[in-house]
Structure 1
Amino acid sequence: MRGTNQSRVSEFLLLGLSRQPRQQQLLFLLFLTMYLATVLGNLLILLAVGTDSRLRTPMYFFLCHLSFVDICFSSTTVPKVLASHILKSQAISFSGCLTQLFFLCVFPTMDNFLLAAMAYDRFVAICHPLHYTTKMTHQLCALLVGGSWVVATLNSLLHTLLMARLSFCADNVIPHFFCEVTPLLKLSCSDTHLNQFMILYVAGLIMMAPFVCVLVSYVFIACAVLRVSTARGRWKAFSTCGSHLAVVCLFYGTIISLYFSPSSAHSTGQDMAAAVMYTVVTPMLNPFIYSLRNRDLKDALRKVLTMKFVSAQ
């Protein structure tokens, strides 16, 4: 137990990415640009799917939810970073920190579940194409998304309530640009064994189960693609899930580098870079990855942009 006779912390100080004024200005512009690109890119995906009847399929249904989650995920951290730079204040209230922590648990978990649902969708489309419409029904898609929201919310509520019961004494400096679980546990002057246990087993299980689902789906997909007789047929079959596979590699690559690499290999700079990739860069790149490799989506985006341009005339 540390410092139990000291006053209770009512706010935390987020040190951010840099202490150098010039670097802070550059990072402010970079974060602002990436945030605007994230919001605009994902909103265009939502508009394109919503206005094009050809895209009313399970894959684009999941993609719409992924775009919405990515907007929310980026909005959980970046606006606070921008506001701290403008207001010259690094403080975040205790309740504000817990609120940020809650949403930082919800949205990555939703990303995880949605990527697993999209992997299952690609598995059915490639391995069981004749039964696709009977397997991927509207009811199943709604159940997958609705169940994901329920599990993600309950998981986040569990970790937030466990964090709220802890005491934080004199030390209130978080060497990060958002309220991350690990630095908060290090600052606590309470017993954190229960928090660590729940993170290891409950959160670990919730994150690993969809990842295993993605791996199994792609093993079956790879086997099905290899059974195609022609190289052109194999390429056509695999190209239908190329965008999703790229997003999966980007998402899980940053997760593994941030949370599952050996602690001896970690440094503050590496952890910060991985966190930026995880919370800012990945949500920004997702819409570009999907639109660049998908002809139907590019056509729908072109129609949306053309309609906006004509209406502005």
Structure 2
Amino acid sequence: MNLFNSALGKNITFVRPEYFIVRGFIGIPNINYYYVFLCFVYIVSVLGNTAVMAVIYLDHNLRTPKYIAVFHLAFVDLFGSSALMPKVLDIFLFNHRYVPYNDCLTFLFFCYTCLSMQVLNLVALSYDRLIAIMYPLHYHVKVTHRFMLSLIASFWVFVVTVVLIAVGLLTRLSFCKSVVINSYFCDHGKIFRLACNDYTPSVDLSTFLALILWLPLAFILLSYLCIGYALAKVATAQERYRAFKTCTAHLSLVAIYFLPISLTFTLMEKIHPNARIINLSLTSVFPPMLNPIIYVLQTQEIKASVKRLLRIRGKSKITTNK
């Protein structure tokens, strides 16, 4: 409670607005086409991630620690897309820019939770690849079903706790100035900067939330340096290629998540605010759409599983017709 109370001055009366106004994309011609495009991306994301989850669930050969993490990534992508996109489309496509105060904080909670879990899930997949290549003989001892489930559960507890604290700090702020959020959703940083009392604790927590993004990237890069060093010791080029090929899907996911957002934050002051908002919105919606496509196209086990399930279904149809 002391942390929350420090965000308030002693003589400040709370001013909680009835609603926030999500400003979003202003002055962009034909912006409705972009919203229709986002709707298409959302539909593809839902279908693709549902398909990946169904394939892993139906094929017992894919019930390994690695595919537990892949299943969880598909689940988080599906959950995150469903938390973000319907509300964004409702706000902008149907011009419902007035978002009630409590709804906005709830919207923020689910968006930040899912975004953080997407990033931390890449850490779990990175660790899986690191152990599989550097310690192949001990892989089944070090990376078990229980370990992967415990790792994912600990990520959930950590992320939910941090984001709940972020939302709790926002409830201790008084909004006596503007209620216009200059973003495409209820963005944490854009909200606390609207407050008229001290929001230093929210600034500090915002820095910590940024670390949830960049520290996983540092771990992933370090793990691939170790993988590269281990592969350099492999005797033949064919063995190196075969081992590295198992990492291509994960590397593609890492690039899709981190390159656009890194570029956006690097050029933050040099690009137009509307361009920045569009870039960030694409960074939020593209990875959930592309992840299932990448895993289906680049992972031999899933391609083989899809073919096997289709073959079994085809045989069952033939048997039924007979």
Instruction: Assess same fold via TM > 0.5.
Output: yes
Which of 273, 286, 300 does residue 281 from structure 1 map onto?
286
Matched, 1:10 2:15: no
Aligned in 2, Cα 1:84/1:273: closer, same or farther, shift over 3 Å? Answer: closer
Q: Which residue of 2 aligns with 1:227?
A: 233
What is the correspondence of 1:26-175 to structure 2 with a 5 Å cutoff? 26-85=33-92, 87-175=94-182
CA deviations over 1:128-150 (Å, ceiling 9, x no partner): 11111111112211110110000
Which of 197, 213, 224 does residue 207 from structure 1 map onto?
213
CA deviations over 1:188-236 (Å, ceiling 9, x no partner): 2221211111221x32443333223212211111111222232222111
Matched, 1:300 2:305: yes
- Alpha-carbon distance, 1:18 to partner: 4.7
Aligned in 2, Cα 1:19/1:146: closer, same or farther, shift over 3 Å? Answer: same
- Alpha-carbon distance, 1:289 to partner: 1.2
- Structure 2 unaligned regions, length at least 5: 1-8
- Structure 1 unaligned regions, length at least 5: none
Counterpart Cα distance in 2 of 1:192 and 1:95: 19
CA deviations over 1:246-289 (Å, ceiling 9, x no partner): 11121122332344x26433431332132122211111111111
CA deviations over 1:75-116 (Å, ceiling 9, x no partner): 222101222345432111111111111112211111121111
- Alpha-carbon distance, 1:59 to partner: 1.1
- Alpha-carbon distance, 1:118 to partner: 0.6
Counterpart Cα distance in 1 of 2:43 and 2:219: 32
Is the CA contact (8 Å cut-off) linking 2:119 and 2:216 kept in structure 1?
A: yes
CA deviations over 1:278-302 (Å, ceiling 9, x no partner): 2111111111111110122123234
TM-score (norm 1): 0.90
Aligned in 2, Cα 1:116/1:20: closer, same or farther, shift over 3 Å? Answer: closer
Counterpart Cα distance in 2 of 1:86 and 1:215: 39
- Alpha-carbon distance, 1:309 to partner: 8.1
Counterpart of 2:198 in 1: which secondary structure?
Answer: coil
Counterpart Cα distance in 1 of 2:144 and 2:100: 45
**Which amino acid counterpart does residue 62 of structure 2 have in structure 1?**
L
Q: Which residue of 1 aligns with 2:247?
A: 241
* Paired residue total: 308
Provide the identity percentage: 31
Counterpart of 2:130 in 1: which secondary structure?
Answer: helix
Aligned in 2, Cα 1:18/1:34: closer, same or farther, shift over 3 Å? Answer: farther
Aligned in 2, Cα 1:309/1:191: closer, same or farther, shift over 3 Å? Answer: farther
Q: Which residue of 1 aligns with 2:4?
A: none
Task: Name which one, 1 or 2, has greater alpha-carbon Rg.
Answer: 2
Counterpart of 1:265 in 2: which secondary structure?
Answer: coil
Is the CA contact (8 Å cut-off) linking 1:7 and 1:170 kept in structure 2?
A: no
Further displaced range: 268-277 or 68-77: 268-277
Q: Which residue of 1 aligns with 2:192?
A: 185
Counterpart Cα distance in 2 of 1:264 and 1:28: 25
Is the CA contact (8 Å cut-off) linking 1:6 and 1:170 kept in structure 2?
A: no
TM-score (norm 2): 0.87
Q: Which residue of 1 aligns with 2:262?
A: 256
Counterpart Cα distance in 1 of 2:300 and 2:15: 60
Counterpart of 2:193 in 1: which secondary structure?
Answer: helix
Counterpart of 1:88 in 2: which secondary structure?
Answer: coil
